[in-house]
Amino acid sequence: MTITLTQPDDWHVHVRDGEMLARVIPYTAAQFGRALIMPNLDPPVSTVQQALEYRKTILSALPEGSSFDPKMSLYLTDDTTETEVKAAAQCEHILGFKLYPADTTTNSSSGVTRVSSMMNVFESMARHGVVLQVHGEVADPHVDIFDRESVFIDQILFPLHQELPDLGLVLEHVTTRQGVDFVKATNHFVAGTITPHHLMYNRNEMFRGGIRPHNYCLPVLKRETHRQSLVAAATSGDPSFFLGTDSAPQTRSSKQSACGCAGIFSAHAAIEFYAEIFAGLECINKLENFASHFGADFYQLEKNPGKITLNNKTKHIPESIGKDQGAEASDDDIIPLMAGQTLSWSLLLDS
């Protein structure tokens, strides 16, 4: 069996910089027409000028002949100005600002310390049609880690939406039933991205037979009931939910450590993971809208002109992705999602 789709987009991905960028960008560029590139570098990408420089670096790391189009999200800080919002609104390569509540995840220490102090900036974003991409968790260490998304929605996101109902909001990497309900209950200015790993796994997968650092990400995997809500949302045909992998490469040594980093790398087989999930539920016909149409519509962009074809030939995932192919395993390896396992879908690229 084969299926052909409009070329999809990844509306949430981390591609890093330097040597890591060179290693990972070919995977995203091989599958997706566009992607929204996350700005949590160190130092963060917080101005239009920095984003355009970072975009150039990404373009120069692409394989020859690639037409991949990186779209940028700027890192919102306490110091972001309305002038920067206006400049972002005028730049076709920039799709919004990423709100990291300070100290919630990787490289978020320059994030926003008080969301309520940013109302002028949010009003300006709403006025100029600039979208706020949201890492939806509270940072408060007293809040149970499994509740941090739902508490954020109750305390911060819902009130913000009520105050500025025409501010474009994307609840990134939705992980809970409450997140799904929030997106469903609000207007068409609000959407949510869903990752492959949150669709595939519940929180048991972090502890299957021992602690599994490569399945640790933020927001952390949740209970099975939440996973089921996400699967229902992604396959429902509701245009408010679309593809965002949150592929976040980390080295083996940074994850296999006494204090391992959050992040799951899925770019090597991103569309195949989603195909596997949708096909398993006998709704592969819902994949194209989720992967290739709804995100473009939300961001008011044309759909990609190209097509991709998937067939149900098996795809074997390597145990690790090294700096140099064929080299010995090393601390710098990336351990990919479903390392050593086999998928029942493979991507064939149409010309």
Q: Least CB distance from residue 24 to ligand DOR, whole Å?
A: 12
d(CA 176, CA 172): 11
Q: Least CB distance from residue 262 to ligand DOR, whole Å?
A: 4
Judged by beta carbon, residue 135 or residue 315, the one nearer ligand DOR is 135
Q: Least CB distance from residue 60 to ligand DOR, whole Å?
A: 22
Site string for ligand DOR, 144-163 (x = CB under 6 A): --------------------
Q: Is 6 in the site for ligand DOR (CB under 6 A)?
A: no
d(CA 57, CA 193): 26
Stretch that binds Zn ion, among 156-164, 224-232, 238-246, 312-320 (CB under 5 A): 238-246
- What would the DSSP string read from start to end of 182-238? HHHHS-TTEEEEE-HHHHH--GGGGSTTS--GGG--SSPP--HHHHHHHHHHHTTT-
Q: Least CB distance from residue 150 to Zn ion, whole Å?
A: 19
Q: Least CB distance from residue 320 to ligand DOR, whole Å?
A: 18
Determine the size of the site formed for ligand DOR (CB under 6 A).
Answer: 10
Q: Is 137 in the site for Zn ion (CB under 5 A)?
A: no
Q: Least CB distance from residue 61 to ligand DOR, whole Å?
A: 18
Q: Is 105 in the site for ligand DOR (CB under 6 A)?
A: yes
C-alpha distance from residue 315 to each of 33, 249, 327, 343 (Å):
22, 20, 21, 5
Restricted to residues 22-61, the positions that interact with ligand DOR (CB under 6 A) are 40
Catalytic pick among 9, 238, 246, 333: 246
d(CA 116, CA 297): 29
Q: Least CB distance from residue 119 to ligand DOR, whole Å?
A: 24
Judged by beta carbon, residue 198 or residue 293, the one nearer ligand DOR is 198
Stretch that binds Zn ion, among 16-24, 41-49, 161-169, 239-247 (CB under 5 A): 239-247
d(CA 206, CA 214): 8
Q: Is 246 in the site for Zn ion (CB under 5 A)?
A: yes
From ligand DOR, Zn ion, none, interface partner of 293 (C-beta below 5 to 8 A by class):
none
Q: Is 13 in the site for ligand DOR (CB under 6 A)?
A: no
Cβ(51)–Cβ(39) below 8 Å: yes
Q: What is the end-to-end Cα distance of the chain in Å, rounded?
A: 19
Judged by beta carbon, residue 246 or residue 272, the one nearer Zn ion is 246
Q: What DSSP character marks residue 289?
A: I
Q: To 5 degrees, how large is the angle CA 286–CA 288–CA 313? A: 90
Phi, psi values for residue 331, rounded to 5°: -60, -25
b/e per residue, 171-188, with b = 16+ CB within 10 A? bbbbbbbbbbebbeebee
Which of 20, 87, 262, 301 is the binder for ligand DOR (CB under 6 A)?
A: 262
Q: Is 246 a catalytic residue?
A: yes
Radius of gyration (C-alpha) of the chain in whole angstroms? 19
Which of 168, 263, 295, 336 is the binder for ligand DOR (CB under 6 A)?
A: 263
d(CA 218, CA 179): 14
Determine the size of the site formed for Zn ion (CB under 5 A).
Answer: 1
Restricted to residues 183-222, the positions that interact with ligand DOR (CB under 6 A) are 217-218
Q: To 5 degrees, how large is the angle CA 70–CA 64–CA 263? A: 45
Q: Where do contacts with Zn ion occur on this chain (CB under 5 A)?
A: 246
What residues are annotated to the active site? Answer: 246
Q: Where do contacts with ligand DOR occur on this chain (CB under 6 A)?
A: 14, 40, 105-106, 135, 217-218, 248, 262-263
